Amino acid sequence: MRHLAKQGDKTSTSGTFRDPIIMEEMIRKAREISGYDQKVETYKDPSIFKGIGMSFFFHGCGFTGDGEAEHIKATVKLNKDKDDNVHVYVAAVDMGQGAKTTLSKIVAHTLSLPMSNVFFDDPDTDAVPDSGPTVASRTIMIVGGLLARASRQMKEQWTPGVEATVFETYRQPKEIVWNEESMEGDAYPAYAWGVNVVEVEVDKRTFQVSLKGIWSVYDLGKAIDERIVLGQADGGIAQGIAYGYMEVMRHENGRLRQKTMTDYIIPTTLDMVRTETVLYENPYAYGPYGAKGFGELTLVGGAPAVALAIKAATGCGVTKIPVTPEMLMEMKRHG
């Protein structure tokens, strides 16, 4: 806790954390909802093969360095037809993360229109401008931010029954400075933050790990659609935890040993437990309604949290992932 980053601190690339960082409050909340402190004391009993682990983490939003400003230069397009319906033209692909819903909501809310008057078809590269790839926790903050600004521009010149088209292109905030040659400066315009707590029980004979509880607290700036965000949180933490104790990937002579879902194990619903997720709003000035990136953030903390929980449950000096039963047996055998 003494070494948490604070607003105004320097980043590892000599940039600056310009926005408020509320990790102390988030960590207190995570400890409260998970019963972390009490469980840590209870599980010190060596006869109890249970453990609880906590991870703190953050993730940059948008492309690194000059990615957004110099390489992508994202552009979005809005078209209003004579019936006062608004059509969204961006390259963002909805692959289950809810981009169609959230981006449409930004446009509809900004223009004070019902959602039924906003249309967002699957992107066709013949029709949409280059708003960049659907990666890097940038869709809502970067593309959504551009759509919010385009919508405000359209609202100012709105004439009922008259067709109109508006374009908006990304411009890096002036205070965000990056040196591509020295790799120094502000690597990202904003950061999203999180805390994960994972509780496990380990079988004393087989060292099989069973999840007992998952609690998460996130600062995502602003949730545009809370239900979609919570869905992403559940999917991300499942992936992150599995990365920490289940998913084994080994190379031999330049080839992957695990090549199918038969030998590369991923979690099923039977491997997961109920999750509790708390969202903190800490608006980012340049994001739509304060939203920051979120998708990748939910993956980052799962592996260290489950690894720490397994370490606490077994007393093994876990230093790498995935923490498999075979690894634990070897560690126990060699003391």
Return the higher-pLDDT residue of 307 and 137: 307
pLDDT of residue 261: 86
Check pLDDT > 80 for residue 316.
yes
The letter for the amino acid at 156 is E
Alpha helices in the chain (DSSP H): 23-34, 36-42, 99-111, 145-156, 226-245, 297-300, 302-314, 325-333
**Six-digit token pair at 301?**
């903390």
Q: Which of 187, 190, 203, 200 is nearest to 311 (CA)?
A: 200
Which residues does residue 54 pair with via DSSP β-bridges, in sequence order?
197
- What size, in residues, is the chain? 335
Question: What interhelical angle do 226-245 and 302-314 show, nearest 10?
Answer: 50
Confidence at 332, pLDDT banded by 50, 70, 90? confident
> Phi and psi at residue 9, in whole multiples of 5°?
-70, 160
pLDDT of residue 93: 96
End-to-end CA distance of the chain: give it in Å, rounded.
Answer: 31
Q: Are 295 and 137 in contact (CB under 8 A)?
A: yes
Q: How far apart are alpha carbons 63 and 137 in whole angstroms?
A: 8
Average pLDDT over residues 83-100: 96
Average pLDDT over residues 52-69: 95
Check pLDDT > 90 for residue 200.
yes
Q: How far apart are alpha carbons 82 and 158 in whole angstroms?
A: 11
How many angstroms separate the Cα of 179 from the Cα of each of 174, 176, 190? Answer: 14, 10, 17
With pLDDT > 90 as the criterion, what percentage of the chain qualifies?
A: 96
Q: Are 136 and 295 in contact (CB under 8 A)?
A: no
pTM over 0.85: yes
How many angstroms separate the Cα of 155 from the Cα of each of 106, 109, 117, 151, 165? Answer: 13, 11, 14, 6, 11
With pLDDT > 70 as the criterion, what percentage of the chain qualifies?
A: 100
Q: Which of 60, 62, 30, 332 is nearest to 199 (CA)?
A: 30
The letter for the amino acid at 165 is T
pLDDT of residue 250: 92
Which pLDDT tens digit goes with each residue over 92-135? Answer: 999 999 999 999 999 999 999 999 999 999 999 999 999 999 99
Q: What is the Rg, in whole angstroms, of the alpha carbon atoms belonging to the chain?
A: 23
Q: How far apart are alpha carbons 62 and 186 in whole angstroms?
A: 12
Angle CA 60–61–65, to nearest 5:
70
Average pLDDT over residues 4-28: 97
Check pLDDT > 90 for residue 334.
no
pLDDT of residue 13: 97
Domains of the chain: 23-63+186-333 (3.30.365.10), 74-169 (3.30.365.10)
Check pLDDT > 90 for residue 335.
no
Which pLDDT tens digit goes with each residue over 156-198? Answer: 999 999 999 999 999 999 999 999 999 999 999 999 999 999 9
Which pLDDT tens digit goes with each residue over 268-293? Answer: 999 999 999 999 999 999 999 999 99
Average pLDDT over residues 138-153: 97
DSSP track, 171-197: ---TT--EETTTTEE-S-SEEEEEEEE
Instruction: Provide the Cα torsion 280, 286, 289, 293; round to 10°.
Output: -50
pLDDT of residue 69: 93
